[in-house]
Chain A
Amino acid sequence: MTQLALGTPGFRNRPALRRRRARSAALVGLLIAAVVVAVGVLAWVLVYVAIQGAGALNLGFLTQTPPGNPAAAGGGFFNGIVGSLIIVGIAAAIAIPLGIGAAIYLVEYGRGRLSATIRFFNDVLIGIPTIVTGAFIYAIWVTRFGFSGFAGSLALAIVMLPLVTRTTEEMLRLVPNELREGSLALGATRSQTVMRVCIPTALPGIITGAMLAVARAMGETAPLLLTALGNDLFTEYNPARRMSTLSLQIFDNAVTGFQEGQSRAWAGALTLIAIVLIFTFVARFFGRRVRTSDA
């Protein structure tokens, strides 16, 4: 390798430098290829679902239930949409207050080993396979009370709880300590400080976390297979009975051999992605107000 001295002409373009620049360009090109693949796959999935689903998606799809003859065209997943909203709604009503409470404990009250253990196992609970959660709820609830939308809500609540706890905890930690100290100095009790100072300050971020958990729950299928069991043809508003969800209906219709059922499933998939994306975008919108650094 010829060593050129600084200042000699051609230094800026010496072979060694050219080689290093070429290698850098090539490797950075590989990295960019990685991102292109990742984004490309996402585009492939979304576009494919959109194309397949757009054909069957119309106002009737969102307001009707499936036809009796599975090979017949038309109909929709109204019962699945209603079921998803009810089951996830109940799960959220259980998980969000409990999750916020647990986060408050971890941030404001917890000290030492116990809260570290709780935080650790909370993160581990996020990683537990949802089918195991479904089997657990089957063992303790369904065998006693039968299949129901409420059993599905219990399973989904276990899925949502650690997510809400984690994000709420992070948001509460972002609240400046000065605010807490000021409130306490003015004589407020700890609970008053939390409820009237910390929570309102962290609220946008807490909403973000709740929305992300809801988005995750809406997409879940596995635990519902063993708890809510599904109700493919009829709209059921009572969570004490079997209910369908959008995810369950998509699954049932996707694996069926009937092409009409499959096109309904594509339309359902498009609807589900749209709902989940809406929740995710709303979550990000709230989160952007809290975020202090760039993406």
Chain B
Amino acid sequence: MRNGVMRADMTVEMEPSLTRGHAVWRKAATVRGALTLLVGGSVLAACGSSSTGATTLAPTATPTPVCTGTTTNPGYSNGLATVAGQATTLSGAGSTFVAPMMSVWTKAYATSNSVQVAYSSVGSGAGIAQLQANTVDFGDSDAFMKDSDIAKAKGGPVVQIPLVQAPVVVAYNLPGIASGLKFDGNTLGKIFSGGITMWNDPAIKALNPGITLPSTPIAIAHRSDGSGTTNIFTDFLTQTSPAWVTALGGSTTSVGKTVAWPVGIGGKGNDGVSAIISQTPGGFGYVELDYAIAQHQTYGDVENKAGKFIEPCEQTAANATVGITSYPADLRVDIVNESSNPEAYPITGLTWALVYQNQTKAAVAAGLVNFLSWVLTKGQDLTGSVNYTPLGPTLQALCIAQLKKITVNGTPVSP
């Protein structure tokens, strides 16, 4: 147990093919895997989850194949019935990690349901702070609220609902070098703590034989604001890099929404970091996948728990939850570097919507439940357009169930 979060056990093994990049996988495996997921998911939905403790599930079957560039729409239909009397506008703030996805969601939701959800991409830390101060209707963070955070929230207990999954990539600006430079956790930890300062350092060369690396200094770009993306990335570094932990002074200070970065330029938001990488020769930083793709940036492959160097994409991010057998009741799960699945991208994170459990305004409560239910069903089909990964069926069902906890003046909004 760590931070009150239950870690999952992985038991699934697979025989991967070793062609990387936009390789072609066995189509049979695709179809079989997809069918198994769907069947397993629907069985689960029919059974429902137990009301006490965590749900234990049969391990879901073969993971989806790697990085084909095509997207699969899960087509969830288990949304809650529309609650009447909803507000026509909602106000949210938080994570930049989810911002492109949230932008697509809110625009589509306004077109289909005539409710305008205004979301400000100000960083996970700001999202939590504004929710605590009760100045917004909902927050969003890629680092779930700890008990100490919830204690400071003015409106009482907080329901935290994962919305979508996405990888954090390490993007670099090296003209002439393509995507796919290989990094392992400890090397990344040394680079980001200032132990390795040049691109042609022997440690990087050892991981990438055959690639001529320039003798440019590494210009680290990190977040200057309180960031869930930082939390995901430093979580990975803490788990895989003793050098990082030592440089940051111990495992309590080496992970968090803000850390004391020994080197590098601070940028505000995922956009700030990706802008710095683009504008600085030799730039190197961590950003959510869509930002790197939209900026036509090159990014690296990272070694996962099974020892393979994995390209981040929608499919490998989905594999990061393959094999997770149980989720905590409050859905505060840490999925970073959890899966032993050989095709899982290790630096994958979730993002949580943060909503007060005891709402005071019926219209706002109805609006929130309707919006989040839509996001968890129809919204999951829109993830491919911005390179995000829909939630797996087990987690998605738990999230829908979580929505039922929201009450207004004592009565549940959606019983």
Give the contact-size bracket for chain B: 35 or more
Complex Cα distance, B104 from A69, in Å, reads: 5
Which chain A residues border B107 with CB–CB below 8 Å? 67-68, 233
Contact residues, B369-415 vs A (CB, 8 A): 385-386
Stretch at the interface among A124-132, A178-186, A251-259: A251-259
Query: With an 8 A cutoff between CB atoms, is A47 at the interface?
Result: no
Given A231-B118, A233-B106, A255-B272, decide whether A242 and B295 contact each other with a Cβ distance below 8 A. no
Contact of A69 among B100, B119, B136, B269 (CB under 8 A): B100
Query: With an 8 A cutoff between CB atoms, is A169 at the interface?
Result: no
Which chain B residues border A241 with CB–CB below 8 Å? 89, 91, 118
Interchain residue pairs A-B with the least CB separation, the first 4: A68-B107, A257-B274, A256-B271, A71-B294
Q: B269 touching A255 by the CB < 8 A rule? A: yes
Q: A236 touching B135 by the CB < 8 A rule? A: no
Query: Majority SS of interface residues in chain B?
Result: helix
Given A68-B107, A147-B91, decide whether A242 and B118 contact each other with a Cβ distance below 8 A. yes
Taking CB as reference atom, which chain A residue is nearest B171?
Answer: A257
Contact residues, B132-167 vs A (CB, 8 A): 133, 135-136
Q: B135 touching A146 by the CB < 8 A rule? A: yes
Query: With an 8 A cutoff between CB atoms, is B116 at the interface?
Result: yes
Taking CB as reference atom, which chain B residue is nearest A143?
Answer: B133
Which chain A residues border B122 with CB–CB below 8 Å? 229
Q: A257 touching B108 by the CB < 8 A rule? A: no
Which chain A residues border B290 with CB–CB below 8 Å? 71
Given A142-B135, A146-B136, decide whether A229 and B120 contact each other with a Cβ distance below 8 A. yes
Interface string of B163-195 (1 = CB under 8 A from A): 000000000000000000000000000000000
Query: With an 8 A cutoff between CB atoms, is A234 at the interface?
Result: yes
Q: A257 touching B278 by the CB < 8 A rule? A: yes
Show the binding face of B for A, using Cβ within 8 Å.
89, 91, 93, 99-100, 103-108, 110, 116, 118-122, 133, 135-136, 267-275, 278, 287, 290-291, 293-295, 385-386
Given A70-B294, A147-B91, decide whether A257 and B135 contact each other with a Cβ distance below 8 A. no
Q: Looking at A70, A232, A236, A241, which has the most chain B CB atoms within 10 Å of its CB?
A: A70
Given A67-B107, A69-B385, A233-B107, decide whether A257 and B120 contact each other with a Cβ distance below 8 A. no
Which chain B residues border A142 with CB–CB below 8 Å? 135
Taking CB as reference atom, which chain A residue is nearest B386?
Answer: A69
Taking CB as reference atom, which chain B residue is nearest A229?
Answer: B120
Show the binding face of A for B, using Cβ within 8 Å.
67-71, 142-143, 146-147, 229-234, 236, 241-242, 252, 255-259
Complex Cα distance, B139 from A229, in Å, reads: 14
List 20 extra interface pairs beyond A229-B120, A233-B107, A259-B294, CB under 8 A.
Answer: A68-B104, A68-B107, A69-B104, A70-B99, A71-B294, A143-B135, A147-B135, A231-B118, A231-B120, A232-B103, A233-B116, A234-B110, A236-B118, A241-B118, A255-B267, A256-B269, A257-B270, A257-B274, A257-B294, A258-B295
Q: A258 touching B89 by the CB < 8 A rule? A: no
Contact of B103 among A68, A230, A255 (CB under 8 A): A68
Q: 16 A-B Cβ contacts within 8 A?
A: A69-B386, A70-B103, A71-B294, A143-B133, A143-B135, A146-B135, A147-B135, A229-B93, A230-B120, A233-B107, A233-B118, A255-B269, A256-B269, A257-B271, A257-B294, A259-B295
Give min CB distance, B229 to chain A, whole Å. 13
Give min CB distance, A217 to chain B, whole Å. 21
Which chain A residues border B106 with CB–CB below 8 Å? 68, 233-234
Give min CB distance, A207 to chain B, whole Å. 35
Q: B275 touching A257 by the CB < 8 A rule? A: yes
Give min CB distance, B101 to chain A, whole Å. 9
Taking CB as reference atom, which chain B residue is nearest A260?
Answer: B294
Which chain A residues border B99 with CB–CB below 8 Å? 70
Complex Cα distance, B119 from A51, in Å, reads: 31
Which chain B residues border A71 with CB–CB below 8 Å? 100, 290, 293-294, 386
Complex Cα distance, B110 from A70, in Å, reads: 16
Q: B91 touching A242 by the CB < 8 A rule? A: yes
Q: Looking at A142, A234, A241, A256, which has the most chain B CB atoms within 10 Å of its CB?
A: A256
Which chain A residues border B294 with CB–CB below 8 Å? 70-71, 257-259
Which chain A residues border B272 with CB–CB below 8 Å? 255, 257
Complex Cα distance, B397 from A254, in Å, reads: 39
Q: A146 touching B91 by the CB < 8 A rule? A: yes
Given A68-B104, A146-B136, A147-B135, decide whether A232 and B295 contact each other with a Cβ distance below 8 A. no
Q: B116 touching A257 by the CB < 8 A rule? A: no
Give min CB distance, B388 to chain A, whole Å. 11
Taking CB as reference atom, which chain A residue is nearest B116?
Answer: A234
Complex Cα distance, B135 from A143, in Å, reads: 7
Complex Cα distance, B282 from A215, in Å, reads: 41
Give min CB distance, B109 to chain A, whole Å. 9
Taking CB as reference atom, which chain B residue is nearest A69?
Answer: B104
Which chain B residues border A147 with CB–CB below 8 Å? 91, 135-136
Give min CB distance, B325 to chain A, whole Å. 35
Q: A255 touching B268 by the CB < 8 A rule? A: yes
Give min CB distance, B371 to chain A, whole Å. 14
Q: Looking at B135, B290, B385, which has the most chain A CB atoms within 10 Å of its CB?
A: B135
Which chain B residues border A229 with CB–CB below 8 Å? 93, 120, 122
Q: Looking at A71, A146, A241, which has the most chain B CB atoms within 10 Å of its CB?
A: A71
